[in-house]
Amino acid sequence: MEIFDYDNVLLLPRQCRVESRSECDPSIEFGGRRFKLPVVPANMKTVLDERIARWLADNGYFYVMHRFDLDAVAFARDMREAGLFVSISSGVKEADYAVIDQLATTGVGADYITIDIAHGHAESVRRMIGHIKTRLPDTFVIAGNVGTPEAVIDLEAWGADATKVGIGPGKVCITRLKTGFGTGGWQLSALKWCARVATRPIIADGGIRHHGDIAKSVRFGAAMVMVGSLFAGHEESPGSTVEVDGKLYKEYYGSASDFNKGEYKHVEGKRILEPVKGKLSDTLREMQEDLQSSISYAGGKVLGDLRRVNYVILGGENAGEHLLM
């Protein structure tokens, strides 16, 4: 198997078919809705809050609300009253089952539920998928996180409508250092590996450092790309603002960090400071423009055309040009 990550892969251009890159359409249909971009902010406390989730939904972007220190039912009700779609996170503990039951009995429901645990290839996830499908049968269920084809096959067989691929490749993840396991350092290769067996959408989660990495993720099979650090650090981002040597930063920490957990127990994340980078809407506009450019380099007009290009691996034993998957 080829082992590579975002930094040592480049996509190969094809003849351009548009007069202007603005003609290219980077939108994606996902779970019965169309979104402007195949990008979703990571469901982390320092990346989005209720206000940002509402803005994203109201402006044509996908979101997954985090599950930390949140009344998920009240949040879902507020989104319904605003005429917006409901996308929330769930764990696999008793309290999470109670949330699902309450969403069902109150009739509030949810359009998307992301079962979000560090090691998603687990019996606890199988049971939660079954519970959601029983209580909220019309809900689109995303399950993860996983990092192997076997896991994708199992989650789909258990009823997941989409799987989330990525074990610790994020900027504030230290899973591979703490446990010896993960997709950190070869996330793009893991995505390709998993996409080959998937029959339903995949969300690539983690390891995105540049906008071009979104195009690479789509090329290797992602329907959606979950982004953390590139969405952290905006003016409206939750979390404390810190001044260091006259420059402003926002705190950004992993969901498995002691900063998020409130205790130092089974810690697999860390805290860093992200430079304040302006408004989220400006970053999303730039992402859209860059993705339109990527599609034009692919010789395409729509997002799916990115999957038709060849690629090269730079350096190492696997270096060379590679044809289509």
The pair of structure tokens assigned to 126 is: 């199988």
Whether residue 224 is annotated as binding a ligand: the answer is yes
* Strand ranges of the sheet holding 271-275, from the earlier edge strand across to the other edge: 241-244, 247-253, 271-275
Is residue 222 annotated as involved in ligand binding?
yes
CA–CA dist 32, 46 (Å, integer): 28
Q: Please measure the distance between the N-terminal and C-terminal CA atoms of the chain and give it in whole angstroms.
A: 12
User: Any binding-site annotation on 214?
Assistant: yes
DSSP state letter for 220: T
Q: Which has the closest alpha carbon to 144: 117, 126, 169, 171?
A: 117
Residue type for position 195: A
* 277 marked as part of a ligand binding site: no
Contact 159, 143 (CB under 8 A): no
The answer to whether 223 is a known ligand-binding residue is: yes
Please state, in angstroms and rounded to a whole number, the distance separating the CA atoms of residues 115 and 112. 10
210 is in an annotated binding site: yes
Tell me whether residue 52 is annotated as binding: no
Q: Is residue 206 marked as binding?
A: yes
| Main-chain dihedrals φ then ψ at residue 214, nearest 5 degrees | -65, -45
Measured on CA atoms in the order 301, 61, 11, 164, is the torsion positive or negative?
Answer: negative
With beta carbons less than 8 A apart as the criterion, state whether 192 and 218 touch.
no
Residue 76 assigned as binding residue: no
CA-closest candidate to residue 43, choices 218, 263, 206, 270: 206
Contact indicator for 318, 312 with CB cutoff of 8 Å: no
Q: Is 207 annotated as a binding residue?
A: yes
Residue 167 marked as a ligand binder: no
162 annotated to a ligand binding site: no
* Catalytic residue flag (residue 173): yes
Task: Establish whether 172 is an annotated binding residue.
Answer: no
Check the annotation: does 208 bind a ligand. Answer: yes
* Of the candidates 194, 192, 189, 278, the residue with the CA atom closest to the CA atom of residue 232: 278
Residue 204, marked binder: yes
Which of the residues 16, 24, 173, 194 is marked catalytic? 173
Q: Which residue numbers are catalytic?
A: 173
Bind-site residues: 202-225
* Residue ranges at the known binding site for NADP(+): 202-225
